[in-house]
Structure 1
């Protein structure tokens, strides 16, 4: 690694890869602070994350926090819609683009409102997959001429709500996921005298590539077979409602990593559309579903956490692929619909957490001076530790030192179990062992080749930075499906990071950790971060959390939702931004109530216990009042750790 004196911003960029995963929104500033360009079309408006941290602290908002950059949401909506408009114009495509945002990706009201607002010039709509989401979409989708696409399994109430939307003049498209839904929809539509807009979801054989490839293909959870689609179309014609069949939908998976899967799906789905059109079912829309991926690890590859294509290439593949099929089959170009939620929301949100401590397996030791009657295993380990060759550059001596020290460490543990070695002698042996390993680690730090067993040793020597947050609440996918999220320090990137570490949270669960990082172009178990300084807070950010992570967190250990800070850019402000809103996260009272506790009754019970101790003379009255107030303040307070005052 580059020496401290020669460290540059380019070195920081090489390690943390901010420009690779940042989508043009995030970069490393010359001052070493992470910077945000909320709208790449206005590069002069740049926000320094250190200024954001300072304002959060001035407003007395407790960390951890979710920071939302709403301008990024607006920019992503415009970027996707503009990409489709440009591709359609360049290809001479005859249809238009009518995109929808799938609410399930992030149902937060502020997020949906911002997307609807940004989508107004593009007639950008919403997608709902549950009754609650449909109720939200009915109220929120105010963009005239936009679609509201309704996916997922449906009951009678769901159908009636959809038809209510039609009565209100909205373009509510009911996508039939199983044949029986069509029978239900037709019955209710005739009862109410309302013509529905009907779509059918096809189970196509093309499958995505990546973690979610199993969501497509013949065993897909949703959709109709080709035979069922033909029967559905003919049933609608027999009921005099064939004019209501307007949309063909297919979906091959989320976070598509390989552009080839997109092209394969368009070729197959386009053929189904063309054949239905030839059967006198003139569909208006083809919905290509979601799947537009995010390059979480910055490798631009087919890794599960990456993608090997750009937004422009994705869009061009859809537009040109559909055009090619339609012209070969001599059918009209349909209007195109996509449901790209991850790409819209991921970049706008990040989790900021403070590192509150460091955990090291070899952080302390015992006095290792020789004793007259010590066991030979201890003496042998000391001989290795005091060997002058450990301070040299003899690679063979280093390898031998590692082999011998590892051997004596195993012997020491066996001897202790057999009551041959005392507890103090075992402690001396382990202390000497870790001293040897630290010297070896220092030697190999600048070497090009490190033996496998010594790489494992380096991981054992790495630190764990204790961070004030819950993985299960704020980064659930890192635990559940090994999703990689970019992690980077928010300041000091103009300094060489000298601590290799993983991140652990404050939950009492051994799974509460992040030990998978994109470092350079590799995935590693540790991330280089900076040494903690006394009295100086150190913050790290978990980025691209705006898709799914915002809404999938659980109540593990009763850590609730985080405080949120909503940021808008403003060129006339000295810092180029202002805090538009602070949304306070869950209090202890909130999470206890969700779990069916009664916080008020709990406080009364504790007060009675305190009063009893006061009456018996074990607690003084003034102290009793203080304990009562303290308990009630904790119940009403934030669920996460409070930072210690300097």
Structure 2
């Protein structure tokens, strides 16, 4: 039998796709540890070392690690790509990006993005009253924009106009025609000149998971008749000078650059027409959509993107300039609302494998009866391939015998030990056929699902619904990889299941350059040795959108920075405790003190009835109270 070639860390980087989806930020060191490169230079941080540091601070897993320097890297790259494209194209306008708060509302994230964007007058976008309140308070640069999207009631409009009075360049983007008369009325009442934009429903539809947010059937935006109507209303109100921006959005995570090009061209035509109608147009907001290559395939697949950030910037600049030149209209300043591309890479979810579920978990030894049931002998013959059958024939025979076993057991003709032996033999056959299929050049269709069926389930200490809600809700793929032992050959095909009481709490689709994998190869578990997995590119939406399924709360979190010197050292600037049991109970209108009081009454009754000893009852109450202040996840 030919020996397998030696496994190297290069093989690990290739198998787990680090160089494809990692964007130059991740690598494996010589000892098999996953490392992050926040600045894409030679400075690296072992993620395993961050875990150890966090544990020394009393933070248990699951753990969210935020590499704050990566936020700065992404903000700088986006702005520099637009700056370079503008310079190369001889574009007369400026780039004025804003970060959409909805993508990650956490204060530490917003602060770091704002600090990184100071040089570029990088602004903020908000879509609700709470987000607008964040933007007004944290926006300090008079040269940076604040863009207000979403449905707006009178309080929202009034709050934005207060920002105008404070000297902020804050735009109210009209999403529905009914907002126009209210903006006019409230502006006149407050005696303030608003800055107004119109969101346009383009005929160009987006692609990918969020395509429904674009096109003529979209939830937001104005049709061309509504645009003309809104323009007339503003003119009649003497507010022609207030309309200065158009906005469009073709969906989050747009995979195909051609869609972006078409939408930009169409929107620029609207911009030129409004300029001709006499409005002092000066900004085009192309919205979000700049993708993240989650699977590293660099394709127009929904979890990927067939373009780079540099190409995105160049195409937006070029197409706006091209249309404006044709129309002989002065080019506008360009606004983008790129959120996912800024924050997704900086966040890593770390979980520990705490158990495994395997169809071959029990080393079953059959009994030594002289007269074994004939069906057991038949299954043993299929396992040993006594008749020299093809894999497909063996599978068909095994399926037939498995059905006979189930029927015989239900009718009482097989006892439990015989049923156990039969099941063990069947799964051994399936495992053997799955291994044969991996090495074969061709696998019959009926056998293609065997590796997935036989994959082990690694039970991981986290909740998909809390930390990876997009994976459950819309099949978003996230890269998964071990954080250590990468210099060892992985030999277990596995899927991941969380600790919630829900069969949907699982990850059974994994990134791959050619297709979606139904399992991922991981290392065998070792006694008393933790096995850590990282889920990457989770910094967009997951933090806020997670729910409290089974009352598993927010996980512990650390914010990591590189040291200022040139060494490969880091420090944890801030750590945030995850939710305690008492906190999540409070979210569902329970009071921990009242629950403890009710427990005490039950303990007292049990003590009086002599069902438990007083000391035992006291210990029960102490444990109950202690658990209220503890975390919601497993203690590993």
Q: TM-score normalised to the size of structure 2?
A: 0.97
Deviations 1:607-636 (Å, cap 9, x if unpaired)? 232233334444333333222111001011
**Alignment map for 1:100-111 (pairs within 5 Å):** 100-111=98-109
1:475–1:553 Cα contact (<8 Å) kept: yes
CA distance in structure 2 between the partners assigned to 1:76 and 1:424 by the alignment: 60
Aligned to 1:522: 515
User: How far, CA to CA, are the matches of 2:14 and 2:442 in structure 1?
Assistant: 19
Could you tell me how far apart the structure 1 residues matched to 2:267 and 2:430 are? 59
Task: Say if 1:95 and 1:336, in contact at 8 Å, map to a contact too.
Answer: yes
Match of 1:340 in 2: 338
2:618 matched to 1:620?
no
The offset of 1:228, in angstroms, is 1.4
Query: Contact (CA 8 Å) 1:206, 1:261: kept in 2 or not?
Result: yes
User: How do 1:146-545 residues align onto structure 2 when only pairs under 5 Å count?
Assistant: 146-364=144-362, 366-369=364-367, 371-387=369-385, 396-545=389-538
Cα contact 1:365–1:428 (8 A) shared by 2:
no
Q: Which residue of 1 aligns with 2:129?
A: 131
1:37-57, Cα deviation, whole Å (9 max, x unpaired) = 1112xx122111121122122
CA–CA distance in structure 1, aligned partners of residues 620 and 11 of structure 2: 52
Q: Distance in 2 between matches of 1:548 and 1:4?
A: 42
2: distance between equivalents of 1:176 and 1:275? 18
**Deviation of 1:386 (Å):** 4.1
Q: 1: CA distance between counterparts of 2:265 and 2:394?
A: 61
Structure 2 CA distance for aligned equivalents of residues 99 and 193 of structure 1: 29
Question: 1:629/1:374 Cα in 2 relative to 1: closer, same or farther (>3 Å)?
Answer: same
* Alpha-carbon distance between aligned partners in 2 of 1:81 and 1:370, rounded to the nearest angstrom: 74
1:423 & 1:537 partners in 2: Cα distance?
35
Per-residue deviation, 1:399: 4.0
The residue aligned with 1:116 is 114
Confirm or deny: 8 A CA contact 2:95 2:335 kept in the other structure: yes
Task: Find the residue that maps to 1:493 and give its secondary structure.
Answer: coil
Secondary structure class of the residue paired with 1:353: strand
For 2:163 and 2:615, locate their aligned partners in 1 and report how far apart those are by CA, in whole Å. Answer: 62
Q: Deviations over 1:456-512 (max 9, x none)?
A: 222222100000000000000111111101111111111110000000000000000
Of 245-254 and 234-243, deviating more is: 234-243
The 8 Å contact of residues 69 and 349 in structure 1, kept in 2 or not, is answered as yes
Is residue 2:550 matched to residue 1:552?
A: no
Which one of 600, 606, 609 corresponds to residue 602 of structure 2?
Answer: 609
Q: Secondary structure at the match of 2:226?
A: helix
- For 1:402 and 1:188, how far apart are their aligned partners in 2? 74
Contact 1:50 1:491 in 2 (8 A): yes
8 Å contact kept, 2:94–2:334: yes
Query: How big is each residue's C-alpha offset from its partner over 1:285-337, in whole Å with a ceiling of 9 and x where there is no partner?
Result: 01001000000011111111000000011111100000000000000010000
Q: CA deviation at 1:142?
A: 1.5
Task: Tell me how far apart the structure 2 counterparts of residues 574 and 607 of structure 1 sit (CA, whole Å).
Answer: 55
- How far apart, in 1, do the equivalents of 2:515 and 2:533 lie? 20
Deviations 1:50-98 (A, max 9, x none): 2112212222211001100110111111110111100000000000011
| Separation (CA, whole Å) in 1 of partners of 2:229 and 2:425 | 77
In the alignment, structure 1 segments of 5+ residues that lack a partner are none
For the structure 1 residues 109 and 4, does the alpha-carbon distance in structure 2 shift closer, same or farther, using more than 3 Å as the test? farther
Q: After TM superposition, give the deviation of residue 575 of structure 1 in Å.
A: 4.5
CA distance in 1, matches of 2:333, 2:128: 25
The residue number in structure 2 matching 1:31 is 31
Output the CA distance in 1 between the equivalents of 2:320 and 2:329: 11
Deviation at 1:513, TM superposition (A): 0.3
Give the Cα separation in 2 of the matches to 1:571 and 1:441. 51
SS in structure 2 at match of 1:517: coil
Greater shift, 629-638 or 45-54, is seen at 45-54
CA distance in structure 1 between the aligned counterparts of 2:30 and 2:206, rounded to whole angstroms: 40
| Aligned-partner Cα distance in 2 for 1:332–1:435 | 72
1:638 aligns with 2:636: no
1:23-42 C-alpha deviation (Å, 9 max, x unpaired)? 221122232211111112xx
8 Å contact from structure 1 (residues 197, 244) kept in 2: yes
What does residue 65 of structure 1 align with? 63
C-alpha contact (below 8 Å) 2:471/2:477 kept by paired residues: yes
> Gapped runs of 5+ residues in structure 2?
none
Q: CA deviation at 1:376?
A: 2.1
Contact 1:209/1:261 (CA < 8 Å) preserved in 2? Answer: yes
Q: TM-score, normalised by structure 1?
A: 0.95
Residues in 1 aligned to 2:97 and 2:441: alpha-carbon distance in whole angstroms: 49
Cα RMSD between the aligned structures?
A: 1.7
Question: Offset at 1:401?
Answer: 2.8
Q: Is the 8 A contact 1:116 1:142 kept in 2?
A: no
Shift of residue 370, structure 1, vs aligned partner: 5.8
Structure 2 CA distance for aligned equivalents of residues 484 and 266 of structure 1 = 28
CA–CA separation in structure 2 for the residues paired with 1:159 and 1:441: 62
Task: State the SS of the aligned residue for 2:281.
Answer: coil
More deviation, 163-172/426-435: 426-435
Give the match for residue 96 of structure 1. Answer: 94
Using the TM superposition, give the Cα deviation of residue 136 of structure 1 relative to its aligned residue in structure 2, in angstroms: 0.8
What is the total number of aligned residue pairs between the two structures? Answer: 635
Cα pair 1:4 1:496 within 8 Å, conserved:
no
CA contact (8 A) 2:164 2:194 kept: yes
Q: Alignment partner of 1:501: what SS?
A: strand
Do residues 13 (structure 1) and 10 (structure 2) align?
no
Q: What does the per-residue CA deviation read over 1:561-609, in whole Å, with 9 as the maximum and x for residues that have no partner? A: 1110110011538652101111001000000001000111111121232
| 1:280 to 1:387, Cα distance in 2 relative to 1, 3 A | closer
Q: Is the 8 A contact 1:479 1:511 kept in 2?
A: yes
